[in-house]
Amino acid sequence: MVNLIVDQIVTGLKLDLTFADKITGIVKPAQASIGGTVKTFPVALNTDVTTCNDSELLDFTPDDSKVSIIYFEDRGTSMSKMENQSIYFTSNFTLICWYNYKKLTPAMTNPSLIVGNIIKYLPLVMGNISPLIGVVLSVTGQQDNTGGVFSKYSYIEEQTQFITYPYGYLALDLQAEYSVRKECFDEIGITTLGC
């Protein structure tokens, strides 16, 4: 369910944030062997790909060719109550934005302005996103900038330097509250097409 919410947020941010040149929804850690060493990096499912191959996964590792990259990490969903036919949920997730000061307006050296621009375009009252009812989004905090948000990934040394000036990042903790009526869950079908 969190994917539905995040996909809606991403759609809006792609339209509104002029400095976000690479943005996606929920990423997951993926591993690959590089030069005999197993590395872990953030990947997202490429929903525009229709064939089954490695290009279905998009790498969201920072690199200095980008102005910024934005992705989300799922931190879990809990059910708060059941009432009649409605189930109430709370989903927690983190918006991570890495940015490159060298590619931003020369006067832009204040990370608070980047935070403000992102929050400005977050849809706090999202309404209904079928089958979710009454989705309300809130920013619950901003994580410190000690690099911990990247600790699950094993970037090479040059990439770990992408968290110090002229690069930076922010991690906003978000929470969405909503309900779903039990009869609104679609049945899952089976397809004979495969890879």
pLDDT on residue 174: 97
- Over residues 94-121, mean pLDDT: 85
Residue position matching structure tokens 């927690």: 92
* Fold classified for 2-182: STM4215-like (3.30.2000)
Summarised one tens digit per residue, pLDDT across range 23-41 is 888 988 777 777 777 777 6
φ/ψ of residue 193, rounded to 5: -75, 140
- Check: CB of residue 92 under 8 Å from CB of residue 75: yes
Summarised one tens digit per residue, pLDDT across range 41-78 is 677 765 554 545 445 556 677 777 888 889 999 999 99
Summarised one tens digit per residue, pLDDT across range 129-155 is 999 999 999 999 999 887 788 777 776
Q: Rounded to an integer, what distance in angstroms lies between the CA atom of residue 55 and that of residue 73?
A: 21
pLDDT on residue 173: 97
Please provide the distance, in angstroms rounded to a whole number, between the alpha carbons at the two ends of the chain.
26
pTM, entire model: 0.83
pLDDT on residue 182: 79
Higher per-residue confidence, 106 vs 8: 8
pLDDT on residue 54: 47
